[in-house]
Amino acid sequence: MNPRYQQSWKSQTKHMVVLRVLLWLCITILSIAGPCLFLDFISRYSMTTRHWFLFIIYIPLNAVLVFGFAQALFGFYLVMTQSEMRQISQSIYLSLSKTEQKHLNLSSKTALLFPVYNEDTSRFYAGVETTYRALKKSGHLDAFDIFILSDSTNPNRWIAEEEHWLSLIQKLDAEEKIYYRHRFKNLNQKSGNISDFCRRWGSNYDHMICFDADSLMTTETLLSLVLMMEKNPQVGIIQTSPRIFQGETLFARLQQFANRIHGEISSAGLNLWQQSGGNYWGHNGIIRMAPFIKYCTLPALPGNSPLGGRVLSHDFVEAALIHKQGYEIWLAHDLEGSYEECPPTLLDFASRDRRWCQGNLQHIWIALFGEIPFANRTHMINGILAYLSAPLWLLFLLMSTLLTYSFYVSNLSLLSQPSKLAIMPESIMLHGLIILSLSFVYLFGPKLFTIIRLLIDPAFAIRFGGFLKASISVLIEVVFFSLLAPLLMLFHSAFVLGTLIGQKVQWNTQNRDSQSHTSLTSALAAHGGQTLVGLFWAILAGIINPFLFFWASPIFLSWLFAPLLSIITSHHGLGLWFKKQDLLLTPEEVKPCKEIKLLEKILSKREKIETPIPELVPHQGLIRVALDPYVNALHYGFLRPRSKQQPLTQKRFEHLVKDLILKGPDSLSSEDRWHLLNDSRSVENLHNTLWKTNSSKLCPWWSLAISRFRLSYS
Amino acid sequence: MDTLVLVEDQISSETRNNAFTRVDGILRAYGIEDRISRSHQVLKILEEANLYCYDDTDDLEQVAADLALKQIDATLKKIAAQLDIPPDTTQRRRLLLLLHTSKLLQRKPEYLLSAKFLPQSEVELLLQYRLTQGPDLQRSTMGNPTLDFSDIDNITHTYQQMIRFIPGAQYILASFMVIMLIYLIYLFSR
């Protein structure tokens, strides 16, 4: 190891300590100064209950902005001065060359986990194949095993996953390297899926790296993560900073551009304050197996769902639990090769946020009452405030509008008292503008840092298509997100309210299909209420005071044109148009790494599967298991052998098989069909009995299925 | 073929066609791609099935399908013995997968219904194709949760039970929130 790195890694430099103190000082001072200025401002009218109420709402709103701004400010300083930051990657050599990669001597064994839940099978397996092929090429495949952990509840997806697994291991000759496991019941969803792996096979491995269904990591990153874990036994989790990629719709491209161009600065700031008290984001991170198994059992939260019961957003809690036992958690933000995809449309994004909102609000219990380290409590409070700030902002806007209204209907003239702060101007208007400007600085300052960086650092600008194109892209991104933010605020407010009054969240599969844009009907259904709110509010503001209308017009515009914005940003064609103009470009598009190229190659070579006729589509998986002896044998092999089945249960299953064949699949409930597909005896029985049943006795649906099945072979 | 001709008068051509289609479908599904070879094997099975059926009241289609599946099963048992693996259902299903992955039936379709033993070279080839659906289990137990909310949990449960006990408590809570909002609107607009 480089001795210089080793030395800086072992202890914090004086410079680092000063910077960290300064960062916290900055957060504290700005979090206090903002509300003080605001209090001074509103007290110049008169302090009534209404004003105190407004002041109380302002405190957390200001704090959220300050935290993000301070993080970006210090991140900007670190990135621009290339200061010697203490980061986990210093414990190894970064940028392993091909020769260095080949000569690495990994002494540990790592499981690569690919949880899947009703996802697009071919896209999912393309990710697995890319990872496998890249690892094999690196010569370090022996140090890894791949596990596909399926929780799919859609039989069609489930059977397709099994078939894909078989063809993949045949194609790659990857027996005993890529394993597939399906759970009968997806108890505790993703966290339950991972725990199940830990209980079955976890102790065979030193580490695990969890992927998302759409994530990708380069070999260099995987090897670096393992190496860092081997060199630092005190580390429990290393989280990478996933870059968003493969965005095609305008919405996804805006997200991926923002994540990519501003991400490095904010990650550097985040790493500065959190250091060894980092967080886990659920995927694209490496975990030390033994302490995870020992300490990361999730607690049951007080009360019932939605706020209590089972922990939904398990990642933050797991990080807290492992950190509590003295293990360090680091953010390896400088590792480039870690990617994930983004929901293609605003509605998909909002639907994901609905789940995250409930998960983060649940953390209130742990943040308030759990014995966890300070850093983890800060992460949780940040997460909670990310959603709680939406209804607070809405309330703040509502109260401000009503205050203005009450002033105008009172017909009183404005008699303001002088400011209590000597530095503040005499004009109350100017005073108000200063406070507003401060909020704008917090909001748009980080964007300005990026533009400055683009100007100063040409190498950085080239990665995004050059200074001019990248700066224009930042402006486009700022305009779009300024319009999208009020929409998200209304969504988040509804989610928070929904969670608080007991609405539970459904764990649906995330839509990752960028070709299906938002229809007018769905846009109106989702945003109709927001448009009405915008219309009503705009009229009210216009009546009260044109000045108020003018100031709040960006928010009204966003709400009024919400359906249009949602449809426009969901378009694949528009996203590609921006790409053709070299706008919203990311380094992965300018110069993709070999793994992304490989993934794209695999995706482009995907075989086009012939779509079955509509009548057969809903039960395609069942048809494959029932008619194809090899799919049947494969599926049978994955099921638990039933050696001791109760005679009554056996009889019931036999009856179900008979009904299924003679009356068709719709005669059975989906639950019964699910149970049949999970019973090995029934699966074998179904295949044999179906082929043996006289065609005159078969229900017409099966006759059709058999004839189409025969056709598929001819 | 002779037998088929002999009973032709008693069994309608529709019944025979149905039986042919079904057995042909089974053999195709099992991977016998070559049409000539498949037809030859189908006719052999139908010939045998005819011995059990005398007229249309006997289910030729079912008997023939049953015969085909039984013969396939017998072949699997025989190969299992050659490979020295137990002949139970689970192993036979695994063996079937081996035949598929090794593409043995694509190369030598006659072995699916043949009484002949596989040549040693094929046996060795089959042994190379092993499918492992998961590594050996290494059971471990997740530790006990280190965060405990039992005290708060009691309070929360009592509160939730109380809410459930009072009819319409949720609506009362929602109404309270609405009233608070209306009050705020009033407070701010007066």
Distance from CA of B8 to the nearest CA of A (A): 19
pLDDT at A513 over 90: no
Residues of chain A contacting residue B25, judged by C-beta atoms under 8 Å apart: 691, 706, 709-710
Q: How far does A195 lie from chain B, in Å, by closest CA?
A: 8
Q: Point out the residue among B61, B146, B187 whose CB comes nearest to the CB of A321.
A: B146
Nearest in space to A48 (alpha carbons), one of B178, B182, B190, B179: B190
Give dist(CA A278, CA A272) in Å, integer: 10
pLDDT band at A153 (very low <50, low <70, confident <90, very high): very high
> How far is residue A556's CA from residue A550's CA, in Å, rounded to a whole number?
10
* pLDDT (0 to 100) of residue A66: 97
By CB atoms closer than 10 A (0-12, 13-18, 19+), residue A73 is buried
Residue A690: closest CA among A626, A620, A615, A622: A626
The nearest alpha carbon in chain B to A291 belongs to B143
Which of B26, B143, B147 is facing A293, going by the closest CB pair?
B143
- Tokens for A145, please give them: 């095993």
> How close B110 gets to chain A, by Cα (Å)?
17
- The residue ranking higher by pLDDT, A225 or A408, is A225
pLDDT for B116: 78
CA torsion sign, A70 to A71 to A72 to A77?
Answer: positive
Find chain B residues with C-beta within 8 A of A200's C-beta. 134, 137-139
Q: Say if residue A4's pLDDT is above 50.
A: no
Is A605 buried (19+), middle (13-18) or exposed (0-12) by CB count in 10 A?
exposed
- What residues in B contact A146, CB-CB < 8 Å? none
Residue B6 pLDDT: 44
pLDDT, residue A7, reads 42
* Residues counted in chain B: 190
A666 has a pLDDT exceeding 90: yes
User: Number of Cβ pairs closer than 8 Å across A and B?
Assistant: 179
| ipTM for the predicted complex | 0.82
Query: Given an 8 Å threshold on Cβ–Cβ distance, is B140 in contact with A202?
Result: yes
Considering only the beta carbons, identify the residue of B131, B144, B156 that sits closest to A175: B131
Q: CB of A422 within 8 Å of any CB in chain B?
A: no
pLDDT at residue A437 greater than cutoff 80: yes
**Per-residue pLDDT band at A97 (split at 50, 70, 90):** low
CA distance A639 to chain B (A): 10
Using a CB-CB cut-off of 8 Å, the residues of chain A touching B134 are 179-181, 200-201
Contact between A551 and A437 under an 8 Å Cβ cutoff? The reply is no
A28: contact with B, CB 8 A cutoff: no
CB contact under 8 A, A692 and B69: yes
Q: How far apart are CA A330 and CA A271, in angstroms?
A: 8
Which of A293, A301, A695 has its CB closest to that of B142? Answer: A293
Residue of B nearest to A399 (CA): B188
pLDDT band at A1 (very low <50, low <70, confident <90, very high): very low
Nearest CA of chain A to the CA of B82: how many Å? 20
* pLDDT band at A93; cut points 50, 70, 90: low
User: Which of A175, A300, A399 is facing B188, going by the closest CB pair?
Assistant: A399
Say yes or no: A302 contacts chain B, CB-CB below 8 A: yes
Residues of A in contact with B100 (CB under 8 A): 630, 633
Q: According to the model, what pLDDT value does residue A29 have?
A: 96
Contact between A133 and A172 (Cβ < 8 Å): yes
Q: Does B97 contact A195 at a Cβ distance shorter than 8 Å?
A: no
Contacting residues for B138 by C-beta, under 8 A, at least 6 apart:
A200, A201, A202, A203, A204
pLDDT score, position B1: 43
C-alpha distance from A489 to closest chain B C-alpha (Å): 18
Point out the residues of chain B with pLDDT beneath 70: 1-10, 54-58, 130-131, 133-134, 137, 151, 154-155, 157, 159-164, 167, 170, 189-190
CA distance B155 to chain A (A): 8
Contact A403 B188 (CB under 8 A): yes
In the predicted model, what is the mean pLDDT of chain A? 90
Interface probe with A: pick from B12, B126, B142, most Cβ of A within 10 Å? B142
A294 near B CB under 8 A: yes
pLDDT of residue A587: 95
Which residues, in sequence order, are CB contacts of A451 under 8 Å at separation 6+? A471, A474
**Amino acid identity for residue A623 in this structure:** I
pLDDT at A47: 82
Mean pLDDT of A394-404: 90
Q: What is the mean pLDDT of residues A609-627?
A: 89
Least confident of A97-111, A304-318, A394-408, A489-503: A97-111
List the single best residue of A146, A536, A686, A691 to mutate versus B (max B Cβ within 10 A). A691
Which residues of chain B have a CB within 8 Å of the CB of A169? 131
- Token output for B175: 């109404």
The whole-angstrom distance between A302's CA and the closest CA on chain B is 4
pLDDT computed for residue B172 by the predictor: 79
- The DSSP code for A144 is E
At residue A6, the pLDDT reads 44
A411 touches chain B (CB under 8 A): no
Axis-axis angle for helices A155-172, A620-627 (nearest 10)? 60
**Interchain proximity A633–B93, CB inside 8 Å:** yes
B161 Cβ contact partners less than 8 Å away, ≥ 6 residues apart? none
Partners of B57 on chain A (C-beta within 8 Å) are none
Of A372, A395, A636, the CB nearest to B93: A636
Which residues 682-711 on chain A approach chain B with CB closer than 8 angstroms? Answer: 684, 688, 691-696, 706, 709-710
Q: Is A577 on the interface with B (CB under 8 A)?
A: no
Task: Determine which of A173, A630, A643, A703 to mutate to test the interface with B (most B C-beta atoms within 10 Å).
Answer: A630
Residues of B in contact with A177 (CB under 8 A): none
Chain A residues close to B101, C-beta within 8 Å: 166, 170
Handedness of CA A437, A438, A440, A444 (dihedral sign): positive
Residues A678, A680, A685, A688, CA torsion sign = positive
Q: Residues A443, A67: contact at Cβ < 8 Å?
A: no
Q: Do A198 and B30 touch (CB under 8 A)?
A: no
CB within 8 Å: A628 and B65? no
Of all residues in chain A, the one with the smallest CA distance to B138 is A201
CB within 8 Å of chain B, chain A residues 306-365:
308, 317, 321, 324-325, 365
Phi, psi dihedrals of residue A332, rounded to the nearest 5°? -90, 70
What confidence category does residue A621 fall into, taking pLDDT thresholds of 50, 70 and 90?
very high
CA-atom Rg of chain B in angstroms? 34
pLDDT score, position A514: 58
Query: Span A642-653, mean pLDDT?
Result: 85
Q: What is the per-residue pLDDT for A565?
A: 94
Q: DSSP secondary structure string, A208-247?
A: EEEPPTT-EE-HHHHHHHHHHHHH-TTEEEEEE-PEE---
Cβ neighbours of A569 (radius 10 Å): 26
Q: Which residues contact A230 (CB under 8 A, 6 or more apart)?
A: A106, A107, A108
Average pLDDT over residues A175-199: 92
H/E stretch holding A171 reads helix A155-172
pLDDT band (50, 70, 90) for residue A99: low
**What is the pLDDT, as a whole number, of residue B94?**
84
For residue A259, what are the CA distances in angstroms to A117, A362, A507?
25, 26, 25
**Residue range A443-459, pLDDT digits in tens:** 999 999 999 999 999 99
Q: Which of A53-57, A178-182, A303-307 comes out lowest in average pLDDT?
A: A303-307
Q: How many whole angstroms separate alpha carbon B59 and alpha carbon B52?
A: 9
Q: Do A691 and B25 touch (CB under 8 A)?
A: yes
The confidence score (pLDDT) of residue B57 equals: 63
The alpha carbons of chain A give a radius of gyration, in whole angstroms, of 28
Q: What is the pLDDT of residues A264-294, one digit of tens each?
A: 999 999 999 999 999 999 999 999 999 999 9
Q: Higher confidence at residue A394 or residue A308?
A: A394
Closest CA to A114 of A151, A169, A86, A65: A151
A172-186, A271-285, A407-421, A424-438 — which is least confidently predicted? A407-421
How far does the CA of residue A258 sit from the closest CA of chain B (Å)?
A: 36
Confidence of residue A577 (pLDDT cuts 50, 70, 90): very high
**pLDDT at residue A435 above 90?**
yes
**How close does chain A come to B5, measured CA to CA in Å?**
22
For testing contact with chain A, the best of B62, B76, B149 (most A CBs within 10 A): B149
- Does A50 reach chain B within 8 Å, measured CB to CB? yes
